[in-house]
Amino acid sequence: MKILRIFSTLIVLSFLSLNVSAQEKKEEYNFPGFTLKKCLADYEIQRSNVRRVAKLPSRAAQKYLKLLYPALEADDLVVAKATLDKMNLDKDISETDKAQMYYYYAYVYFSEDNLRKAKQSYKSFLNIEGADPRLKSNVIFSLAQIAYTEENYKEAIKLLKEWLSNEANPSSTGFDIIAASYWQLKNKKLALKNAEAGLCVAKANKSKPRESTYNLLLALYNEDGEMKKMLELYEELVIFHPKKKYWTQLSGIYGELKQESNQLTALEAAFDQKLLDKKNEYTALYQLLMRAEAPFKAAKVMDYGIKNGFVKDDEKHLKMLAQGWHMAQELEIAEPIYEQAAKKSEEGELYVFLGQIYLATDRYDLAKKTLKEGLKKGKLKDPVTVNILLGQVSYEQQNFEDATKFFRTALDRLTDLKIKDKKLLEKRQDKLRAQALTWLTYTEKEARRVKTLELRRKDLEES
Triad 273, 275, 281: Cα angle to 5°: 120
Residues near 244 by beta carbon (within 8 Å), at least 6 away in sequence: 270, 273, 275, 276, 277
pLDDT (0 to 100) of residue 129: 85
Residues near 354 by beta carbon (within 8 Å), at least 6 away in sequence: 335, 338, 339, 342, 370
Contact 168, 156 (CB under 8 A): no
User: 188-195 — which CB contacts under 8 Å span 24+ positions?
Assistant: 188/220, 188/223, 191/216, 191/220, 192/217, 192/220, 193/42, 195/220
Contact 319, 296 (CB under 8 A): no
Q: Sign (positive/negative) of CA torsion 313, 319, 320, 321?
A: positive
Q: What is the pTM of this model?
A: 0.76
User: For every one of its 463 residues, what pLDDT tens digit does the chain have, with 9 covering 90 and above?
Assistant: 444 333 333 333 333 333 333 344 467 888 999 999 898 887 766 555 555 566 788 888 899 999 999 999 999 999 999 999 999 999 999 999 999 999 999 999 988 989 899 999 999 999 998 888 888 888 999 999 999 999 999 999 999 999 988 887 888 999 999 999 999 999 999 999 999 999 999 999 999 999 989 999 999 999 888 999 999 999 999 999 999 999 999 999 999 999 999 999 999 999 999 999 999 999 999 999 999 999 999 999 999 999 999 999 999 999 999 999 999 999 999 999 999 999 889 899 999 999 999 999 999 999 999 999 999 998 899 999 999 999 999 999 999 999 999 999 999 999 999 889 999 999 999 999 999 999 999 999 999 998 888 888 877 777 6
Contact 307, 300 (CB under 8 A): no
Specify the 3-state DSSP secondary structure of 55: coil
Contact 81, 114 (CB under 8 A): no
Q: What amino acid is encoded at 29 in this protein?
A: Y
pLDDT (0 to 100) of residue 294: 97
Contact 182, 157 (CB under 8 A): yes
Domain residue spans of the chain: 292-378, 381-463
Contact 417, 382 (CB under 8 A): yes
Q: What CATH architecture applies to the domain 381-463?
A: Up-down Bundle (1.20)
Q: Which CATH number fits domain 292-378: 3.30.230.70, 3.40.1080.10, 1.20.1630.10, 1.25.40.10?
A: 1.25.40.10
Q: Using CA atoms, how far apart are residues 366 and 157, in angstroms rounded to an integer?
A: 78
